[in-house]
Structure formats: structure tokens, C-alpha cells
Amino acid sequence: MAGLLLYCRGGFESECAAEIQGHAARLGVAGFVKAKADTGFVVLETYEAEAAARLHDVLPFAELIFVRQWFVITAWLSGLPVTDRVTALVAGAGVLPEAPRAIFLETPDTNEGKELSGLCRALRKPLDSAYRINAEVIPSAGIRLHICFLSGTSAYVGYAAVRNSAAWPMGIPRLKSPHGAPSRSTLKLDEALLEFLGPAEREAFLRPGMRAVDLGAAPGGWTWQLVRRHIRVIAVDNAAMDDRLLESGLVEHVRADGFRYRPKEAVDWMVCDIVEQPIRVAELAAAWVTEGWCRHTVFNLKLPMKKRYQEVQRCLAQVREKLDDAGLRYHLTCKQLFHDREEVTVYLRREG
């Protein structure tokens, strides 16, 4: 079979399907989507293998919002012998465009998928040695072999370009809940900075001494991520901030409405995690960048129950329109991160 396998958050299969279908149609790739609710993945089947490979080649992974990870399918294998899965996987892997430089053993992010994680661990070394892969070397180019187990005896096999896919199996970075952070949502901003910025950008854009505003900051999980990087933060929220954060000397707590608050001087970053209508948050963030109140912003859009894909599109279109009207150059990217629930995270940077 030929196509693409796309991992998403369980419950967001129809958004993921709508998204890939839209791109396939736009790029003239014929195919159909198979999506089942709460399975954590979607398959775009294409009539020709070449079409799936082309779509993976020309569509930037960073532009996909509801897709955590993806790969070109080269084989669907069922009835894998439990006594020797490795030989069957290697023999049945289909045609890869080149020798893989790494292997990701994956499952959908569901409870059933988690039960297969032991199997993935057990097959890791034998598969690495079958493909002569040195797991110590993390490739920056070439292709990676992906095996997605749906059960102990069935799997999709395929490949992804290292340069155009997530750097983590299933698109899930392993972030430890940091000791001392006041809330678990701290991991959302940590993941966002990892997802949206490359190593050199993180170094250039998150320097000690920079200044930030955190709108809807309490109790301080996002502020904590900035303070950890020695960035000074104005935390705007009517609710209480974590005492230890305030004692850091890097945080000023302002009790105010985040939609009305304006900085006295421009800052480097504005981050916003206010639970509000997404279009209002998008409008606010676009205003901060357009007015020059900040250069970078990370904001979270809490999605409604229905028409979630359309709502994200509407918000991003509004941001683009505002910046285009102002004649600004910018970088805009949006993803449903692993730590996002019924929400997506957006990064916007003013260029020049």
C-alpha cells in the first residue's frame, strides 16, 4: 500500500484528516483519508507510491498543525511471527529510497499503544543491528525508518526525511516536569520553545537579561520557564503568583486585565495563556507584534468543541491579515503540541 501515516492527539483525527486532505488537494495529490475517532492517527492512502513521497517532500512538516509526526508508508504488515518479528519486518519493509540512518519504533498515543512500548524497546537493538545503525549518532539528514505497531503482530512501515519530520518518536518530546515549577502547564511553553525554535535560535532569542510579559500568568508555570532562562518577566494576572517566583527578583506581578495591559517599553517576548475566545487572543497577539510592543510571542488558542480546524484557520488568517496590512515581515507557525489538550500553540516573530 502507499500513503502517509500521520500521528495526532487522540480525538483530533478529523482535524488531522481535514488538514492533510486540504494540502493533498492543493498540491494535486489524489487519495483518500482513513480516520477513526480516538485512534491517534490518520492514514492518507494515495493511488501511487510516488504521490505520497512527493507530498512528504514538498509539504513542510512545520506547516502541519494537528500532525505530531508523519511518515511515508511503504508496507502494511500483519501476522508478524511473534518468534521473529525482526526478520519479517526487515524482509517486508518495502522499498526505501536510501538506507535509513535511524529507526523510530512507534505506536499511536493511546492506552493500547502504550501497552506496546515494551515490545518497541525489545526490538530496538535487533533492528538497529539488522540495519547497521549506530543509535548513538543522531542524524541531521537522510531518512529514518518508522515502524508503527498497531498490535503485537501488525505494523505500518515506512520512512520520513529527517529534515522534514519531528525529531522525536511519535512527535512526543520527553520533557521532565521541572522541580519547583508552579504548574504543569509549564511544559507547554517548554515544548513550544523546543518545537518552534532551533538550537541556534533558542540561543539567540532567549538570552539572559531579555524582557518578557506573561499575560494570564498565574500561578506562574510559563513565567517560570522564562525566569529559568534569566529573562525578566512582568506577570499580568489578577490571580496570585507563586511566592518563590516572586522572590526570584526577576518577576514583577501586575494585577490587571491582559487585554488592556500595555507595556511602558517594548519587550522581547509576550506570552499568553489566557482562557478566552481564540479569536480575541489571536487579535491581541497580532496587535502586540504589529505595534512593536514585542518581537516574539507564544500564545495558546483554546479551541471550541466544534469546527476546531476552521477556528484555527480563522485565527491564523486574522493574524496574517493584520501583519500583512501593516506591511511587516514575520514568521508564523502553529502546532498542537503534545502538552496541549483542547488547544493549539502559536509562535509569531517579527522579522527585520
Ligand X SMILES: C[S@@+](CC[C@H](N)C(=O)[O-])C[C@H]1O[C@@H](n2cnc3c(N)ncnc32)[C@H](O)[C@@H]1O
By the 8 A CB rule, do 261 and 213 touch?
A: yes
Q: Does 186 engage in binding with ligand X (CB under 6 A)?
A: yes
Q: Classify residue 58 as exposed, middle or buried by CB count within 10 Å of its CB (0-12, 13-18, 19+).
A: exposed
The correct pick among 131, 205, 259, 293 for binding ligand X (CB under 6 A) is 259
Tell the smallest beta-carbon distance from residue 226 to ligand X (Å).
11
Site string (128-167) toward ligand X, x via CB under 6 A: ----------------------------------------
Tell the smallest beta-carbon distance from residue 298 to ligand X (Å).
10
With respect to ligand X, which residue has the nearer C-beta, 43 or 226? 226
Q: Does 237 engage in binding with ligand X (CB under 6 A)?
A: yes
Assigned C-alpha cell, 53: 513521497
Measure the CA–CA gap between 17 and 6, rounded to whole angstroms. Answer: 9
SS3 per-residue string spanning 193-235: HHHHCCHHHHHHHCCCCCEEEEECCCCCHHHHHHHHCCCEEEE
Burial pattern 37-54, b for ≥16 Cβ within 10 A else e, equals eebbbbbbebeebebbbb
Q: Does 221 engage in binding with ligand X (CB under 6 A)?
A: yes
Measure the CA–CA gap between 302 and 216, rounded to whole angstroms. Answer: 13
The correct pick among 14, 183, 248, 313 for binding ligand X (CB under 6 A) is 183
Look up 302 and say whether it is catalytic.
yes
The correct pick among 77, 105, 148, 274 for binding ligand X (CB under 6 A) is 274
Q: Does 273 engage in binding with ligand X (CB under 6 A)?
A: yes
- Judged by the rule CB under 6 A, the positions of this chain that interact with ligand X are 182-183, 185-186, 215-222, 236-239, 257-259, 273-275
Q: Which positions are catalytic?
A: 302
